[in-house]
Amino acid sequence: MNNSQINRLKDKTFNYFGIFCTLIGLVILAFFIGSIFYDGLRRIDWDFLTSLPSRKAEKAGILTAWVGSIWIVIFTFIIVVPLGISAGIYLEEYAKKSRLSSLIEVNISNLAGVPSIIYGLLSLEIFVRLFGMGNSILAGSCTLALLVLPIVIVATREALKAVPHSIRAASYALGASKWQTVWEQVLPASFGGILTGVILAISRAVGETAPLIVIGALLYVPFTPSSPMDEFTVLPIQIFNWISRPQHEFTINAAAAIIILLLITFIMNGVAVYFRNKWQKKINW
Amino acid sequence: MKKEKIIEGLLKLSALVTILTTVGILYVLLSESIAFFREVSIWEFITDKEWTPLFVNKHFGIMPLVAGTLLTTFIAISVALPIGITIAIYLSEYAHKRFKKIVKPLLEILAAVPTVVYGFFALTVVTPFLQSIIPSMSGFNALSAGIVMGIMIIPYVSSLSEDALSAVPKELRNGSYAMGSTRLQTAFKVMVPAASSGIIVSVILAFSRAIGETMIVAIAAGQQPRLTMNPLVPIETITAYIVQVSLGDVQHNSIEYRTIFAAGITLFIFTFILNNIGFYIRKKYREQYE
C-alpha cells in the first residue's frame, strides 16, 4: 500500500470509529432504560400511583412523591417565570453597556456553573432558617427557582435577540413607548423561544434531588401536602430512598418510579424541542 | 412616563436577583466556614489525612474528600473526553447534515436524564457487570460512578466542541482539501488546532460539571472518605458528604453542621476557578474570529 492508500484507509477507519462513538452513548442509555422498563414496568399499576409510602415494598406507592413534585413544579414556575423573563428583558432591551450590566452577565454565566448542591446550602441558611420557611414546599421551590433562573434568563435573551430590529422601529414609529413595544410586539414575537427555555428549566427542576435533600426534604412522608408551607418529598428523593435500601423489592419500586420520572422528563424535553423547531421555522421573517 | 420608569425599575430589580444570589452564596459559605475555621485550623483542614467529623475521634482533613472527588472526576473525563471529541469531529467533518440534525438533540438527552437515575444505573447495572470482570471490586466504588458520570457529560464535551469546530472559517477546511488532505488529516491537523480553545473550554466545563455532580456519587461511590487513587474501593466525594450529613440528624450550629459549609466552599472554589478559566478562554477566542 502506498502512502495515499494508507491515509484513505485511516480516514475510513475514523469514519466508522466516529459512528461507533456517536452511537455508543445512546446505545448504553437505551440499554439502561430497557433494563429499567424490564424491572419496573410490571410494578406500575393504579395502586402504585395512589398508595402512600410504606415499610413493606409491595404496598408502597408514590402518591406523596408525585403530588409533592407537582406542588414544587407549580411554585417553582410561579417564581421563576416572571423573575427570569423580567431579568432577560432588562438585560436585552433596557440595560445600557455599563459596568453593572456586564457584571450581571458574567455573574449569570458563573451562576449557571455553580453545583446544584451549593444552592441547597444557600437555601438552608437563607430560606429555611433566616426567612423561617422551614423545610417546606415554598423553601424547596425558591431553591429550585434560583437554580434554574439562569436557564430562563439566557433563553429569554436569545429569544428577544432573534426578533428583528425593524419590528421595534415600526412600533416606535407608531408612537408606542418602550414598554408598549416590548409588551405588545417583542414579547409575543419571542414567545416560542421563551417557552422552550421555561419548559427545559422546569424539566431540570423536576429531576433535581441534591439541593432538596440539603434543605431537609423528607425521605419518608406519610401524607400528601395541602399547603405550600407543608413538609414534602419529591419523586427523585423517593427514588433515592428506595435505591438506598438493600432489599431487592425496593430496587424494583425504584425502577418503577424511575419510569414515571423519565416519562415526565422526556415528554417535557420533547415538547420543548417541538416548540423550538416550530418557532425557529416561524422566525425566518 | 412614570409608569415606564417603574416598570424599568422592576425589571432591573429582577436582574439584580442574580447578583443577590451570588452575594448570598458567598455570604452563607464564608460566614459558616469562618465559624468552622475558628475551631479547626486551616492548616489542619488542608494537611490532615483523615476526615471523620461524625466520629468520636474527630479529624477534619479535607484531602480524602478532595481525592474522592478528583478520582471520580478523572474517570468521568477519561470516558467523556475521547468519546465526546470524536463525536464532535465526526459530526462536523464526516456526518451528513441531516444525521447531525437528528443526533445532536438525541445526544443531549444524555444530559437531560435526572442524575438520580444515573446513580441507579451505576449501582444496579454497571457495578454488577464490572464485578463479574473484577471480582475484588466493592459494591460501592469510584469506577462505576465515574464511568456513568462520564456518559452523562459526553454531550457537554461533544456539543461545545462541535460548535467550536463549526465556527472555524470554511476557508481553512477548503484550503486543506485543496492540498489533497483526507478528512482525517484536515480534522486533526487543521480543524482541531484551529478550534482548540473552544474544545479546551468544553473540557473545562465538563470537568467543573463532574466535580459538582452529587447523586451519582452519593448513590454508587460510597460514604467512606479515603485518601486513595484505587477506583475499586468505596470512597466519598465532597458532594456525597454534604448529602450524607443532610440526611442525618445534625444539630444546627454544631461543628458537624459547619463541616458541610467548609466542604461546600472547597467545592465552590474549585468550580469557580474552572468556570472562570473557561469564561476567560472563551472571551479571548471570540475576539480571535470575529
* Residues belonging to chain B: 290
- Are A68 and A39 within one domain? no
- Are A146 and A200 within one domain? yes
| Closest residue of chain A to B125, computed from CA coordinates | A32
Report pLDDT for A284: 56
- Are A82 and A205 within one domain? yes
- Are A147 and A209 within one domain? yes
Model confidence band, residue B211 (pLDDT cutoffs 50, 70, 90): very high
Of B94, B112, B261, the CB nearest to A203: B112
Write down the residue that cell numbers 461545545 correspond to: B160
Q: Is the ipTM of this complex over 0.85?
A: yes
- Are A66 and A184 within one domain? yes
Report pLDDT for A173: 95
Of B113, B114, B247, the CB nearest to A213: B247
List CB contacts (< 8 A) between A32 and chain B.
121, 125
Q: If 0-12 CB within 10 Å is exposed, 13-18 middle and 19+ buried, where does residue A84 land?
A: buried
Per the rule left: phi > 0, alpha: psi between -120 and 50, beta: everything else, A180 is: alpha
- Are A73 and A115 within one domain? yes
CA distance A173 to chain B (A): 17
Q: Taking a C-beta distance cutoff of 8 angstroms, is the pair B74, B252 a contact? A: no
- Are A15 and A146 within one domain? no
- Are A171 and A211 within one domain? yes
- Are A119 and A220 within one domain? yes
The candidate with the shortest Cα–Cα distance to A268, out of B189, B103, B31, B114, is B114
pLDDT, tens digit, for every residue of B241-274? 999 999 987 888 889 999 999 999 999 999 999 9
pLDDT, tens digit, for every residue of B86-136? 999 999 999 998 998 888 888 888 888 999 999 999 999 999 999 999 999
What is the domain extent for residue A29?
3-43
What is the arithmetic mean of pLDDT over A108-114?
91
Tally of domains in chain A: 2
CB within 8 Å: A87 and B242: no
Model confidence band, residue B287 (pLDDT cutoffs 50, 70, 90): low
Is the pTM higher than 0.95? no
- Are A7 and A87 within one domain? no
Least confident range of B38-52, B86-100, B272-286 = B272-286
CB within 8 Å: A118 and B268: yes
CB within 8 Å: A25 and B110: yes
Task: Tell me the C-alpha to C-alpha distance, in Å, between residue B110 and each of A23, A147, B80.
Answer: 12, 20, 12
Q: What is the CATH number of the domain that holds A106?
A: 1.10.3720.10
Report pLDDT for A283: 61
Amino acid at position A30, single letter? A
pLDDT, tens digit, for every residue of A63-77? 999 999 999 999 999
Model confidence band, residue A285 (pLDDT cutoffs 50, 70, 90): low
pLDDT, tens digit, for every residue of A119-168? 999 999 999 999 989 889 999 999 999 999 999 999 999 999 989 999 99
Q: Is the pLDDT of residue B290 over 50?
A: no
CB within 8 Å: A94 and B115: no
CA distance B151 to chain A (A): 6
Indicate the Cα dihedral angle B86, B91, B94, B95, nearest 10°.
140
Rounded to a whole number of angstroms, the distance between the first and last alpha carbons of chain A is 54
Indicate the Cα dihedral angle B85, B87, B88, B90, nearest 10°.
120
Model confidence band, residue A15 (pLDDT cutoffs 50, 70, 90): very high
CA distance B231 to chain A (A): 21
